[in-house]
Chains A and B, each alone.
Chain A
Amino acid sequence: MSLFSDPRWSEALAHLPDYLGNHVRVSLTALALGLLVSLPLAIAVRNRRISRGVLLGLASIVQTVPGLALLALFYPLLLALAALSLAWFGAGFSAFGFLPAVLALALYSMLPVLRNTITGLQGVDPAILEAAQGVGMTARQSLFMVELPLALPMMMAGIRTAAVWVIGTATLSTPIGQTSLGNYIFAGLQTQNWVFVLFGCLAAAVLALAVDQLLALIETGLRRRSRLRVISGGIGIAALVAATLAPSLARSPSSYIVGAKTFAEQYVLAALIAQRLRAAGLTASSREGLGSNVIFDALASGDIDVYVDYSGTLWANQFHHTDIKPRAELLGDLTATLAQQKITLLGELGFENAYALVMPRQRADALGIHSIADLSAHAATMSMAADYEFFSRPEWAGLREAYGLSFRAQRQMQPDFMYAAVASGEVDVIAGYTSDGLIAKYDLVVLDDPRHAIPPYDAIVLISPKRAADQALRSALQPLLGHIDIADMREANLRAAGGDGASSPDAVARWLWDKIGKTGAQKQ
């Protein structure tokens, strides 16, 4: 099988109209907004030394904020604004996806445009400015007839830089709910689907190059007063916009949106839910790669309709409880707390995906470590790895306190790399997930938690307030409840990490459904 006959290429291609269309829409809107703000600002401050310095300083500071963080910051900011707007004007807006992405990217695009416009305008020969005044131009005429045309090549260079930055950074808007070419990259990274990662990178690079070259065409056209170049460049941009927007506009908006967090299991479960909804004759699409906190707020505000979360995660992270309750009691409390926010806890899927401390079986046996209590004696000489969230989660604080854990070193890793890292001895212990198929694959052992420092993490289906009374949705998802056991989920996760054609979330979800159907039949 050659590299390009891999079925994942055609699967990636099938997503392209949606991902690319959204990517172009968010990038160009952000760029347009950025220009609309930056150009007048640059013109206004060009001859004012102090405000010029302040503005460029601020834009530089924005630039030093990593793109992902900037995007992430706009989400809670808009959420708060939306709440205020709802309280004051009776109308809220969605703080999810498009709006925060556009605002953050627009802010990101400002520095090159501001800097190049100011530099370009200041670079105009003073003798030419005097001539403009001398032939009888007003300040405004001098600006539009002489200064801006002469600064144009410099300004266009800035606009091109901004365009390339925005298109590249827009791939990071996936975790705040804006579909983009980043969906390939985030999904690919989580499910070890390198075809997707490569496809996403290539698509973003090609898009950036195409826009850059079209802008270059317009630039040289303007400089050489060649109307042909300007028009063909303009037509190129317009065609690009039309081509990428047409398919996504023509598609009927899907009625149900299924959310997924940033790891393989979530992609598979979202695919499974979407498949069930479609099987019930409903339309559904998924919004994947959402951050843990983003996804809950998105459900509460109705930006997504349904997703799978874990009881312990909500308990400790969303509702900030530090006490750990037994499974049934915790679920009961959670259902009641969620109901206050009009969120429906439809039920448990039947398996638990808990955080657990995991190490190689042989090493654990050799050291006589069976539980976390045994581990604490060795911890000072050991290094530990976990995902990006774990060390800042309350569960970790609880664990450390309960067992007096203190490791020699702590590292954060992409979840899929942790298991290989602990198996190879790169690190000694990891905070793994009990539903992960890699635990069995690498012959790792889950350490007991005799002091119950880690809460139960039952996988639960949550439904947004606006779908609370939706019987079609409820009955479509009913067959899943209680029917996915830990063994099936582990195997599904292992398949999803397989890195071959059968490892796409859709394919794994179909396999899982078949499996549930059989076990379901056996159980009945």
Chain B
Amino acid sequence: MQDAPPIAFAHVGKSFDGGRGAGPVVAVNDVSLEVAAGEFLAIVGGSGSGKTTLLRLANRLIEADSGSIRIEGEDVRAADPVRLRRRIGYVFQSGGLFPHMSVAGNIGITPKLLGTPAAEIAARVDELLDLVRLDRSQHRDRFPHELSGGQRQRVGVARALAAKPRIVLMDEPFGALDPLTRDALGDDYRALHRKLGLTTVMITHDMTEAILLADRVAVMRDGRLSALGTPSELSASGDAYVGELLRTPRRQAERLRMLLPRDGAA
């Protein structure tokens, strides 16, 4: 078990009912993928590529039609979905914070569900606020609507980490943020990932973000895994779609090198 990869997808398929009249829509088509312990994997793809569905299959927010998904060696179909979700951190798009709960209430929710004593939860909340670099006394008792987008997402990350998961799934976590905040948050999370020895799978539609943060990048298109590798491996790939996705970061990098020569030389 110890050697089993934290997350392993094997020939996973998932279709949705296409609505009245239409046939089923294949969201995920025969995807096999392993995420190694301590790895930071980014899944990149356009909307409708099946990337979000793939992520949700991992903690059974959606049930797979075919293939198998193993979390730390255990088939998710055999696991109790509620218990499974409690041991996997999940960061939702634009936070997904509970509007009627304070920051502390949101962060401490999973430990609370696990029956952790209140005093322990309070200590853990403070620890997590430090970890995601939010001032304890200033933010602990605030409500989500009183926070900025970046602060909300930091709370979202803290909530995902509260029950000390070894695996964190992130669904376009920084997509709705302004570029500066996004950059800072990305860096901070990357540092946390390393410090806590997490295994992270992050969904993004932004290839630049994926390359900058992840160890490996998986590219999805029309429900299929069309490429998988480190940024340099992808760069060497002959796949046309991957080339298209890489064109933007490449052009941006060149522009930046031209416009900011000193940075480029450093």
User: Which residues of A are interface residues toward B (Cβ below 8 A)?
Assistant: 127-128, 130-138, 141, 145-146, 149-150
Contacts and interface: CB of A to CB of B under 8 A. Distances in A.
A196 B93 CA distance: 63
B110 A150 contact: no
Contact of B96 (A134, A137, A141): A134
B113 interface: yes
B9 interface: no
B266 interface: no
B99 interface: yes
Nearest to B163: A136
Contacts of B110: 135-136
A128 B94 CA distance: 11
A127 B52 CA distance: 13
Contacts of B83: 136
Given A128-B98, A136-B113, 16 more contacts: A130-B92, A130-B96, A131-B96, A132-B98, A134-B92, A134-B96, A135-B86, A135-B90, A135-B159, A136-B85, A136-B86, A136-B110, A136-B163, A137-B82, A146-B98, A150-B100
Nearest to B85: A136
Contacts of A132: 98
Nearest to A133: B61
A138 B80 CA distance: 11
B16 to A, nearest CB: 15
Contact of A138 (B82, B93, B96, B98): B82
Interface of B: 59, 61, 82-83, 85-86, 90, 92-94, 96-100, 109-110, 113-114, 159, 163
A131 B98 contact: yes
30 contacts: A127-B92, A128-B96, A128-B98, A130-B61, A130-B92, A131-B92, A131-B96, A131-B98, A132-B98, A133-B61, A133-B85, A134-B59, A134-B61, A134-B85, A134-B90, A134-B92, A135-B85, A135-B90, A135-B109, A135-B110, A136-B82, A136-B83, A136-B85, A136-B113, A137-B113, A138-B82, A141-B113, A149-B100, A150-B99, A150-B100
Contact of B113 (A135, A149, A150): A135
Nearest to A129: B96
Contacts of A137: 82, 109, 113
A149 B114 CA distance: 21
A138 B86 CA distance: 11
A-B pairs with the 9 shortest C-beta distances?
Answer: A131-B96, A136-B86, A136-B85, A134-B90, A149-B100, A135-B110, A135-B109, A136-B113, A131-B92
B70 to A, nearest CB: 19
Contacts of B94: 127
Contacts of A133: 61, 85
A146 B159 CA distance: 16
Contacts of B113: 135-137, 141
Contacts of B86: 135-136
Nearest to B143: A225
A11 to B, nearest CB: 51
Nearest to B113: A136
Nearest to A139: B82
Contacts of A146: 98, 100
Contacts of B85: 133-136
Q: Could you say which of B59, B97, B98, B114 has the most chain A C-beta atoms within 10 Å of its C-beta?
A: B98
Nearest to A125: B99
B155 to A, nearest CB: 12
Contacts of B97: 131
A325 to B, nearest CB: 74
B50 to A, nearest CB: 17
A138 B113 CA distance: 9
A134 B61 CA distance: 7
A120 to B, nearest CB: 13
A355 to B, nearest CB: 65
A230 to B, nearest CB: 14
Contacts of A134: 59, 61, 85, 90, 92, 96
A149 B97 CA distance: 14
Nearest to A149: B100
B165 to A, nearest CB: 10
Contacts of B59: 134
Contacts of A138: 82
A141 B114 CA distance: 12
Contacts of A127: 92-94, 96
Contacts of A150: 99-100
Contacts of B99: 128, 150
Q: Could you say which of A128, A136, A138 has the most chain B C-beta atoms within 10 Å of its C-beta?
A: A136
A190 to B, nearest CB: 52
Contacts of B100: 146, 149-150
Nearest to A223: B100
Nearest to A146: B98
A141 B109 CA distance: 11
Nearest to A150: B100
A135 B114 CA distance: 11
Nearest to B96: A131
Contacts of A136: 82-83, 85-86, 110, 113-114, 163
A128 B92 CA distance: 10
A133 B59 CA distance: 10
A382 to B, nearest CB: 65
Contacts of B93: 127
Contacts of B114: 136
A131 B94 CA distance: 11
Contacts of A135: 85-86, 90, 109-110, 113, 159
B143 to A, nearest CB: 9
Nearest to B162: A135
A512 B86 CA distance: 82
A136 B97 CA distance: 14
A149 B92 CA distance: 21
A307 B163 CA distance: 74
A109 to B, nearest CB: 26
